[in-house]
Amino acid sequence: MLLYGIKNVDIYAVAVSFSLILLIYYDYHQAVLASDLVEGLSISRDAPKIVTELEEFEVHVIAENLSGTDIPYITIRDSVPEYVEVQRKPTASMILPRGEAVGFSYKIRPVLSGSHTLYGLTVRVGGPLGFFVVETELRSPTSFTVLPYSGGVPLRLKSLERLWGLIVPGRSTGGMYDIADLREYSPGDDYRKIVWKALARSGKLYVREDFGEVTMRLLLMLDVNAINWELGTPPNTLASIELRVLRSIVETLAKYGVSVDVAVCCSATTKVVRNATEDVERSLVDIFSYITPYCSCSSPITVFLEAPTYLGRSVEDYSAMLLVVNPVAVASENPARFLELVRTFGRKFKVVIPRFEYENYIDKEDLAKFYSTLASLVERAEGSVEMLEENLTLRPIKRG
């Protein structure tokens, strides 16, 4: 432009180009100053530690300028992990006065349960005009645990009652009928356990809980493999459904006071949680913070043979050993190893197969054959196989 002005003896063009040159120089100067201030920046995130699958929540990013100079223009972009749907752009441009803290927030919705981590922040500082920018990557890991969805799915798994015939409302396994506690009636409770005197006194429905009614100790095992995440589409991958089954079983059994130990294999090591039903929420967080989306158990299925030892118990301490597994995982497992598991746990061994559209991935006839073979194998050792009837799939996510 300057050359054009000079060539054509255009005073206006020369004047404008001079001012632009000055402005660009000013912007460069400010960008250089700002780039020196990046180290004096304190950038943090604020996000809830525990959320539920598909729950929408806000992440706050706060930048504080600890230096004594204003930062003319700063753009912060947060890196959102995969399998987390972004509801609002995780980026904002700000002016950061000295000593001030400025932030922005965006909404995300995780579509897979487990532990998620927000890692890097891209910080771009520059002059006020934006001609010159300096980009820096800052590491600022923030983790949150996504629990599988539980609202809206049948928490009280009827299939479990049929599975071992112990949790039958209104009947005490120990034969004792001494009242241990009274609690408020909740839908699904047996009407025969309603304490009518309590209703007359308080006007509220109470049900009794008897000693001896809950005497079981259960080992709940879950084997998560990489392929489980590939079958189905988020949020309804096979792994997601298995995790929902795990949560549902723990919560259902907790309601009946059953003591449940959990063993989950989703990496090279097995995560064990003793007596998960004692403090359900804490235990669930403990379990699901170990699971990361697309994690895979790299150990053979016989790794669960050691689970009682890891938990400081023996096989004899358990009333039942419940393995949540799917046909694909069992089919890909070495049959000898699976048999070893069946033989070791014997009649206490229960195989739970979550409801899923297996027919979309396996031939129907092959699937029927597989079920029959599996049932005969497990039943030969006096165990049992149960296919859950509960549909734990979620509606597809609607954007907006």
Partner 1 sequence: MEVVEILIYVATVALTSLLTYVTGVDLISLAAAALTAYYASIGSNMTVISAITVVLVSIVRIATARPVKSRKALMVKLKYLTTMTTVIAIAIPIAYISAGTAIQLQLVDPWPLAILIAASLYVLVYGLISPTTLHLVSVSFWDMLDLEHVEEFLYKSGVIIGALAMLINVATHGVLGLIMMLIYIVTLFATMKMKLLLHRVVVSLIMAVTVAITYIYGYT
Nearer to partner 1, 10 or 333 (CB): 10
Binding of residue 128 to partner 1 (CB under 8 A):
yes
Binding of residue 106 to partner 1 (CB under 8 A):
no
d(CA 194, CA 164): 24
Binding of residue 237 to partner 1 (CB under 8 A):
no
Binding of residue 72 to partner 1 (CB under 8 A):
yes
Residues β-bridged to residue 140: none
Binding of residue 79 to partner 1 (CB under 8 A):
no
Binding of residue 91 to partner 1 (CB under 8 A):
yes
Selected range binding partner 1 among 13-21, 46-54, 80-88, 266-274, rule: CB under 8 A: 13-21
Binding of residue 1 to partner 1 (CB under 8 A):
yes
Binding of residue 25 to partner 1 (CB under 8 A):
yes
Helix (H) or strand (E) holding 356: none
The CB-of-87 to partner 1 minimum distance in angstroms stands at: 16
242 by Cβ neighbours in 10 Å (0-12 / 13-18 / 19+) ranks as buried
Binding of residue 40 to partner 1 (CB under 8 A):
no
Binding of residue 42 to partner 1 (CB under 8 A):
no
280 by Cβ neighbours in 10 Å (0-12 / 13-18 / 19+) ranks as middle
d(CA 108, CA 148): 16
CB 238 within 8 A of CB 357: no
Binding of residue 93 to partner 1 (CB under 8 A):
yes
Helices then strands, counting H and E runs in the chain, come out as: 11, 17
Selected range binding partner 1 among 84-92, 144-152, 189-197, 332-340, rule: CB under 8 A: 84-92
Nearer to partner 1, 129 or 387 (CB): 129
Nearer to partner 1, 69 or 172 (CB): 69
Nearer to partner 1, 133 or 182 (CB): 133
d(CA 348, CA 342): 9
Binding of residue 15 to partner 1 (CB under 8 A):
yes
The CB-of-108 to partner 1 minimum distance in angstroms stands at: 17
The CB-of-27 to partner 1 minimum distance in angstroms stands at: 8
Distances (CA, A) of 199 to 190, 194, 195, 264: 15, 8, 7, 43
Nearer to partner 1, 91 or 142 (CB): 91
Among 30, 145, 248, 283, contact with partner 1 (rule: CB under 8 A): 30
Residue 215 sits at φ, ψ, to 5 deg, of: -130, 5
Binding of residue 140 to partner 1 (CB under 8 A):
no
CB 98 within 8 A of CB 65: yes
The CB-of-273 to partner 1 minimum distance in angstroms stands at: 42
Binding of residue 136 to partner 1 (CB under 8 A):
no
Nearer to partner 1, 23 or 280 (CB): 23
Binding of residue 129 to partner 1 (CB under 8 A):
yes
102-115 as b/e: b if 16+ CB within 10 A:
bbbebebbbbbbbb
Question: Of 280, 291, 274, which is closest to residue 114 (Cα–Cα)?
Answer: 291
Structure tokens, 94: 């700000």
Which contacts qualify for 276-280: CB closer than 8 Å, 24 or more apart?
A: 276/220, 276/250, 277/250, 277/253, 280/250, 280/251, 280/254
Selected range binding partner 1 among 52-60, 67-75, 161-169, 355-363, rule: CB under 8 A: 67-75
Residues that bind partner 1 in the complex, under the rule CB under 8 A: 1, 3-6, 8-9, 11-23, 25-26, 29-30, 70, 72-73, 75, 77, 89, 91-95, 97, 100, 102, 104, 128-131
